[in-house]
Structure 1
Amino acid sequence: MGRVTARRRITRVDLDGATRTRPDTLAAEEPLEIRVGPAGGPRPPLAVTMRTPGNDLDLAIGFLVTEGVIASPDDVVTAQLCAGDNEPNTYNVVDVALAPGVEPPTTDPSRNFYTTSSCGVCGKASIDAVRVRSRHDLGADPVTVDATTLVTLPDTLRAAQKAFDATGGLHAAGLFTAAGDLVCVREDVGRHNAVDKVVGWAARNGRLPATGHVLMVSGRASFELVQKATLAGIPVLAAVSAPSTLAVDLAAESGLTLVGFLRDRAFNIYAGDKRVITPPR
């Protein structure tokens, strides 16, 4: 099975010091193929994503949730990590057998599911293809979050990023309670993969929809991350960096509270400001 980190020799150039060759720790990046189909039937490849090995079952289940293929772990009979067809075996394949009555996804060349570690929707044909409708009414979630709690989340998430400490090259996603308690953290070279790993963990532990929770991400808030939060029933998404216009539009449309530039005890609210309790002016 792949490792989260790997060692490589590099040349360190320091214009104020010596140039030397030394080993360095890098974030691992390998392809993961997700095969999906009915139990007892053919399960063709649905997606290939470039990811950091580890928590691969969470990644596969989370991907299927956030693509609208499944709604709960009850929609899956088995999900297992397989050796694949390569030699030596890399265990870079997850095989998912769907429960009876669950419609298998259609593999349409115009909606290519190949994704890189930097973009979760690059292979899809149009915005209409990626605007998957959520089964959850986020606007009905009554949760509120205190501003003094929100500003603690980045430091809590950063403290839990063990692989980032070694590599400096991984994104993180964390699922928090409204009181600021961290319940799950995942790291990956891909922002969307880190979120899918968190959503998959929640699905496999019977915690979907994740009502009353906050999803905190270490980078920017893009359209696909907002979509993944809505598909998982998460009412609040917070990011340390900026959102995009489509992210803000989808958050407002879906009833999701979107917070950006959450750092240094300040933040911007781009949608759903009524959920955030701020100090009196």
Structure 2
Amino acid sequence: MGRVTERRKVIRVRDGQVSERPDTLVAEEPLEIRLNGKPLAITMRTPGDDFALAAGFLVSEGVLGAADELQSIVYCAGATAEGSNTYNVVDVRTAPGVVLPDITLERNVYTTSSCGLCGKASLDAVRTTARWRIDDTAGGTAPPVLLATGLLAGLPDRLRAAQRVFDRTGGLHGAALFSEAGELLDVREDVGRHNAVDKLIGRALQNGGLPLARTVLLVSGRASFELAQKAVMAGIPVLAAVSAPSSLAVDLAAETGLTLIGFLRGSSMNVYAGEHRVALGAGAVRG
């Protein structure tokens, strides 16, 4: 829709020289998500991939887990008093027979840091609603994912190279999905890091790709509890971030078997949980 970026006037000061010029900024608009016609949530996002964003959000909330549970997603016409379509309201219709969890406009939320729930309640909520186990004990004969540190070290540069809108604006978070062999499977950008992840997960749901087993989710910012929760709900075994994790994200990773890596910068990284999936090498020294 051509709404990903916008132009604004800026006064630029460089080495004492002042000039006036247009600047390219990332667009930010509200998106209202309705579920079967009823308002559910509002998020601030960068327009684009709105249907995937809505689908991914509902995966994170435990509503959807497979493509056949999703009947349709449409923009709502008549969203304004004049009856025009703002393309800022989507309605998600679930397939007949899908049982909905008890969620409200306040999101009944265990996903935001301001929800007021204690850490234990937040962890319990994810554990009881997650559809897939990622702790390598759920059966099957495939060996656990094992990632070389060298492979992990190269992922941030590949995410950065794939962020096309960031190059023009410098104002977007990025999220990328890689295979265990390091193949870039998908990348999304958004003004909100959680939205970028929802767009990745939503596209996977629409394509029948859940659970996202044997993959690595890389995010350009910090690893919050909310992002760890989204990884677990999508069946992703490894979450890596270029910045720090929160304490509750580490607790959730330890609780569910998620491998959580922070401060992934060059050849350096901190492994906070799930170290069995990282090949640290025979020469690694534990102090």
Residue aligned with 1:132, SS = helix
How far apart, CA to CA, are the structure 2 residues paired with 1:150 and 1:84? 47
Counterpart for residue 152 of structure 2: 150
Query: Cα distance 1:167–1:92, how it changes in 2: closer, same or farther (>3 A)?
Result: same
Measured after TM superposition, the shift of residue 210 of structure 1 is 0.4
Shift of 1:48: 0.6
Query: Which residue of the partner structure matches residue 30 of structure 1?
Result: 29
- Find 1:207's aligned residue among 203, 206, 209: 209
Q: Which runs of 5+ in 1 are unaligned?
A: 38-42, 114-119
Pairing 1:108-257 to 2, within 5 Å after superposition = 108=104, 111=107, 121-122=112-113, 124-127=115-118, 128=121, 131-133=125-127, 134-140=130-136, 142-257=144-259
Report the Cα offset of residue 106 of structure 1. Answer: 3.9
After superposition, the Cα gap between the structure-2 partners of 1:46 and 1:84, relative to the gap in structure 1 and judged at 3 Å, is farther
In structure 2, the residue matched to 1:117 is none
Partner of 1:100: 96
Question: Partners of 1:83 and 1:27 in 2: how far apart?
Answer: 25
1:53 aligns with 2:52: no
Amino acid at match of 1:193: N
Q: What is the distance in 2 between the residues matched to 1:21 and 1:92?
A: 32
TM-score (norm 2): 0.88
Residue-pair matches, total: 269
CA distance in 2 between partners of 1:161 and 1:140 (Å): 32
CA shift digits 1:48-92 (9 cap, x unpaired) = 100000001110000000111111121111112234512553211
Asked if structure 2 preserves the Cα contact closer than 8 Å seen for 1:35 and 1:95, the reply is yes
Q: Provide Cα deviations, 1:162-207, integer angstroms capped at 9, x if missing partner.
A: 0000000000000000111111000000010000000001111111
The amino acid of 2:22's aligned partner reads P
Gaps of 5+ in 2: 138-143
Distance 1:170 1:209, change over 3 A: same
Cα shift at 1:135? 1.3
Aligned sequence identity (%) = 59
Hey, what's the Cα distance between the residues in 2 that align with 1:257 and 1:138? 9
Q: What is the letter of the counterpart of residue 212 of structure 1?
A: R
Q: CA RMSD in A?
A: 1.8
1:75-94 superposed matches below 5 A: 75-86=69-80, 87=82, 89-94=85-90
Partner of residue 280, structure 1: 282
Quick check: 1:149–1:180 contact (8 Å CA) kept in 2?
yes
Scaled by the length of structure 1, the TM-score of the pair is 0.90
Between the aligned partners of 1:92 and 1:84, the Cα distance in structure 2 is 11
Kept in 2, the 8 Å contact 1:230–1:254? The answer is yes
